[in-house]
């Protein structure tokens, strides 16, 4: 089938993806897409055809970000339909997420400096009229750059953007509108259903030229015209000549943080929106399960109702599934006393939670340790095997992970089913 025939077929399937925060819906979308993850889809994946034409991309990221479905499940479903060679591009996309998370775990100062810079810039927006005006135009979709303004309204309305549109958007934000990348990254975290601290922060830094030093991404009108099928042609609008950004701070590469192990006795399982399918990998059930249904804000500005609702619903879906294999299921706020109370009622002094990579949940868990310890409760974070395998080679460029993909698939017992 020719590329034009594929475009015609896609346009006949006009139907926006329904982002419902349940494991069932994530698995349904995976089953729907897995047959298209091979080489016949590779040539179309970079095309942004509009919000109601997403059949050329998986659109699985909201479910994967909350681990309603896991990377392993996505890879297994893909390799049941395609060889590793046929699905090489899509398989790499899956591993990119793990690479970003591992890289940020190796370089935690990047996350902390981003948050400090963001706080300073938010104060500056209040005091600097020129910055406030430019930022206001950008976040209201009033820049006069048609493609940028449409993408902004699409993001706010749907909680999703095509990956190529995200790069164009970030490039225009940084190099055309001359706005700080931290404010743009924060705006994405406010509105993206799949807003992930690592993937989002490092993608914006990559566009700016800070992740791969000296290599930045400049949006070009011809590229936008081609990959939007002529929906946009912003001639002379994106900045075509701009140097990459620089920063004075160096970010050392540190060893990965320690992970814990399950206790021999009873424990309370604490579910956050970082991992909402714990039952698929935890070897035994908890005495009681608590779900943090007040998700930690991913931005100092809060989260959109859609993002907060998706995260909340993901945890509630996880709690519903937990009803079949635990003695007690409760919803808790982010107060330590609620978690202490659950542990005391369950008669255990150990709270187990899936390891949270760098981000707001990890920061909150760090602050939770002291009050729990004061009540005689131990907090243990346990990492998935997938993360333990993928994160160690994620120290520099993606090549360190990409070169390990065949070995990683073998270590995960993921081989093609054909």
Rounded distance between C-alpha atoms, residue 407 and residue 394, angstroms: 14
Domain-ending residue, one of 171, 196, 227: 227
Helix (H, G, I), strand (E, B) or coil at 91: helix
Mean pLDDT computed over 338-348: 93
Q: What is the pLDDT of residue 88?
A: 92
CA-nearest of 67, 91, 97 to 199 is: 97
Strand duo 350-354 + 378-382: pairing: parallel
Cβ-based neighbours of 50, under 8 Å, separated by 6 or more = 231
Mean pLDDT computed over 389-409: 97
Share of the chain above pLDDT 90, in %: 78
**Residues 156-173: pLDDT tens digits?**
999 999 999 999 999 999
Q: What is the pLDDT of residue 224?
A: 92
**Residues 210-232: pLDDT tens digits?**
999 889 999 999 999 999 989 99
Is residue 53 domain-shared with residue 41, that is, in the same domain?
Answer: yes
Q: Does the pLDDT value for residue 12 go beyond 80?
A: no
In a domain, 240, yes or no: no
CA-nearest of 260, 252, 250, 213 to 106 is: 252
In a domain, 211, yes or no: yes
Is residue 398 domain-shared with residue 371, that is, in the same domain?
Answer: no
Residues 291/316, Cβ–Cβ less than 8 Å: yes
**Residues 138-154: pLDDT tens digits?**
999 999 999 999 999 99
User: 334 versus 384: which is more confidently predicted?
Assistant: 384
Is residue 179 domain-shared with residue 147, that is, in the same domain?
Answer: yes
Q: What is the pLDDT of residue 314?
A: 97
pLDDT band at 8; cut points 50, 70, 90: low
pLDDT band at 18; cut points 50, 70, 90: confident
Q: Where are the alpha helices (DSSP H) in 140-258?
A: 146-158, 163-171, 181-191, 197-208, 221-227
Q: Does the pLDDT value for residue 395 go beyond 70?
A: yes
The H or E element spanning position 240 is none
**Residues 312-323: pLDDT tens digits?**
999 999 999 998
Domain at 147, CATH number: 1.10.579.10
Domain at 30, CATH number: 1.25.40
Mean pLDDT computed over 9-36: 82
Residues 80/198, Cβ–Cβ less than 8 Å: no
Is residue 286 domain-shared with residue 371, that is, in the same domain?
Answer: yes
In a domain, 371, yes or no: yes
Is residue 174 domain-shared with residue 219, that is, in the same domain?
Answer: yes
Domain that holds residue 144: 108-227
Is residue 377 domain-shared with residue 404, that is, in the same domain?
Answer: no
Domain count, the chain: 3
234, exposed or middle or buried, with CB in 10 Å at 0-12, 13-18, 19+?
buried
Tokens of 295: 């998700």
Q: What is the pLDDT of residue 2?
A: 47
In a domain, 244, yes or no: no
Q: How many helices (H) and strands (E) does the chain have?
A: 19, 5
In a domain, 248, yes or no: no
Is residue 212 domain-shared with residue 283, that is, in the same domain?
Answer: no
Mean pLDDT computed over 274-286: 93
pTM to 2 decimal places? 0.94
Is residue 335 domain-shared with residue 362, that is, in the same domain?
Answer: yes
Mean pLDDT computed over 49-70: 91
The H or E element spanning position 400 is helix 399-402
Mean pLDDT computed over 31-56: 81
Rounded distance between C-alpha atoms, residue 116 and residue 4, angstroms: 48
Range from 16-25, 171-180, 356-365 carrying the lowest mean pLDDT: 16-25
Q: What is the pLDDT of residue 7?
A: 46
In a domain, 249, yes or no: no
269 φ, ψ to 5°? Answer: -95, 125
Mean pLDDT computed over 20-48: 86
Share of the chain above pLDDT 70, in %: 94
Domain at 289, CATH number: 3.40.50.620
In a domain, 257, yes or no: no
Mean pLDDT computed over 235-261: 88
């Amino acid at each position: 089938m020719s590329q034009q025939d594929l475009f015609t077929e896609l346009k006949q399937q006009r139907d926006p993806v329904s982002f419902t925060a349940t494991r069932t819906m994530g698995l349904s979308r995976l089953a729907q897409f897995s047959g298209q993850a091979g080489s016949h889809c590779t040539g179309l994946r970079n095309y942004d055809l509009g919000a109601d034409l997403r059949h050329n991309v998986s659109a699985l990221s909201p479910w994967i970000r909350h681990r309603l479905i896991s990377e392993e499940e996505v890879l297994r479903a893909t390799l049941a339909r395609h060889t590793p060679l046929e699905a090489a591009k899509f398989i790499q996309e899956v591993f990119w997420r793990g690479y970003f998370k591992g890289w940020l775990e190796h370089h935690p100062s990047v996350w902390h400096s981003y948050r400090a810079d963001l706080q300073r810039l938010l104060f500056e927006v209040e005091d600097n009229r020129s910055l406030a005006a430019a930022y206001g135009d950008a976040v209201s979709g009033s820049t006069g750059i048609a493609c940028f303004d449409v993408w902004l309204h699409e993001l706010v309305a749907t909680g999703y953007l095509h990956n190529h549109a995200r790069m164009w958007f970030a490039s225009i934000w940084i190099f055309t509108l001359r706005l700080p990348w931290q404010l743009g990254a924060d705006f994405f975290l406010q509105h993206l259903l799949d807003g992930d601290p690592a993937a989002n922060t490092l993608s914006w830094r990559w566009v700016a030229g800070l992740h791969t030093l000296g290599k930045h991404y400049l949006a070009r009108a011809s590229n936008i015209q081609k990959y939007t099928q002529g929906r946009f042609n912003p001639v002379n609008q994106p900045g075509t000549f701009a140097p990459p950004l620089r920063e004075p701070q160096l970010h050392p590469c540190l060893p990965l943080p320690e992970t814990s192990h399950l206790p021999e006795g009873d424990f309370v399982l604490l579910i956050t929106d970082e991992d909402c399918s714990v039952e698929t990998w935890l070897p035994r059930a908890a005495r009681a399960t608590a779900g943090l249904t007040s998700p930690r804000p991913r931005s100092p500005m809060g989260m959109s109702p859609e993002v907060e609702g998706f995260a909340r619903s993901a945890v509630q879906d996880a709690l519903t599934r937990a009803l079949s294999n635990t003695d007690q299921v409760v919803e808790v706020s982010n107060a330590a006393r609620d978690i202490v109370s659950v542990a005391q009622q369950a008669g255990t002094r150990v709270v187990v939670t899936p390891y949270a990579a760098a981000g707001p949940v990890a920061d909150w868990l760090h602050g939770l340790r002291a009050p729990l310890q004061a009540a005689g409760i131990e907090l243990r974070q346990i990492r998935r095997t997938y993360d333990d395998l993928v994160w160690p080679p994620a120290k520099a460029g993606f090549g360190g992970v990409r070169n390990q993909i065949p070995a990683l698939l073998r270590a995960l017992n993921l081989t093609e089913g054909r």
